[in-house]
Amino acid sequence: MANAISAEFVRRIPKTDIHLHLDGSLRLRTLIELAKRKKVKLPSQTEDGLSRLVFKSHYKDLPDYLAGFAYTVAVMQDAESIERIAYELAQDNLAEGVRYIEVRFAPQLHIRDEFDMEQVVRACCDGLARAQREHNNSRAVKNGADIPFHFGVILCALRYFHAGMSPYYAKLFAVMRYAAPARVFAAASMELARATVYLARSLGLPVVGFDLAGAEAGYPAGDHKSAYQFAHKNFIRKTVHAGEAYGPESIFQAMTDCYTNRIGHGTWLFATDMVRDPNITDREAYVQHLAEYVAAQRIGIEVCLTSNAQTQSKLRNFARHPLRQMLDHNLSVSICTDNRLVSNTTVTDELLIAINKVNLTQKELSHIIAAGFKASFFPGTYTEKRKYVRQALDRYEQLERELLN
């Protein structure tokens, strides 16, 4: 029974977070400190005030949810700040038993004349690597009482942006002033795909994947097909934010045009009423075939329960979340936070919501934990990944015997 799964067990088991935005996961006190240092004006100078005014438990809509990123991105404009934020993010995950994370962000939002793409990404990697060294050199890891911590970095292209979002985007619009906006978006994605390959292959940084984020409606993933083809041809793993604010067709396009290995959110996979193509006459069959294909191909679904509830009014009752349908269809599902600060959550919190609100069973929990490790874009060889997954599952089973049986 779901209520037999204790909070202590959930906190102690090895976990993953493979959908985790760096700029949505700062510590509040760090945001306040950095804002004072960089003269970034905040609506409040206290943690309580920011939690009440900006980073709330409930949001009116998606724009309200996204408002806080203006402040977090503003303090992430130098290597020292990004490295610190990444380090603290790894520490916070380690403290709750998370042993593998994939941190994603859009370096284009942080590039300046004196701060280029490589420096931005290195700063993030350096912060995560410092936390990794500290944990992996600990007595618990060395004597086998704990497993090592690993991480990867995913670079995010944006479906939509405007010149005011960063100097990088302003320059791109200036250079491409006569191009249609969709071509500018596509060009930015291609440049990021090239950077991803260079950073991962030529420099050997732990850049493990390429992502596409932002508004789905009106900004289709297909516009970024060339960038994804380039990443695909260079053996870069891929994920796409899809089915978060648009229907099943968005997920289909992510798979067919972008060769995606995983789907970010995938919330409306089963929403037949959201199929918009008039040529799809049998919507039920379309969704059934789509779900079956996702299951058979083991395309991972990165589920973010709290974030979905905060941006989609239909899902504020967690019992209505399609996570149950996903599990019943044997999809490869991992539970993620999306944004630890903006959604005021942790991996432990998200798993407890699934257990208590979606009636997750002990067996389903073990499958979700395994799916997170198995679907990861692990920054090593496949043999090394298999060994690490085995370590994680052995540790999980040991704790299961100690705490649940």
Which residues does the annotation mark as catalytic?
244
* Residues 14, 97 contacting (CB under 8 angstroms): yes
**Whose structure tokens read 């994603």?**
104
Q: From CA 325, how far away is CA 129, in angstroms rounded?
A: 37
Phi, psi of 300 (to 5 degrees): -70, 145
At residue 45, the 3 state secondary structure works out as coil
* Residues 212, 221 contacting (CB under 8 angstroms): yes
Strand-pairing partners, residue 101, are 17, 151
Cβ contacts of residue 182 below 8 Å, gap of 6+?
A: 219, 223
Compute and round to an integer the Cα radius of gyration of the chain.
20
For the beta carbon of residue 240, count every other beta carbon within 10 angstroms: 30
Biggest alpha carbon–alpha carbon distance for the chain = 66
The candidate with the shortest Cα–Cα distance to 103, out of 352, 379, 295, 366, is 379
Ramachandran sector of residue 61 (left: φ over 0; alpha: ψ -120 to 50; beta: rest): beta
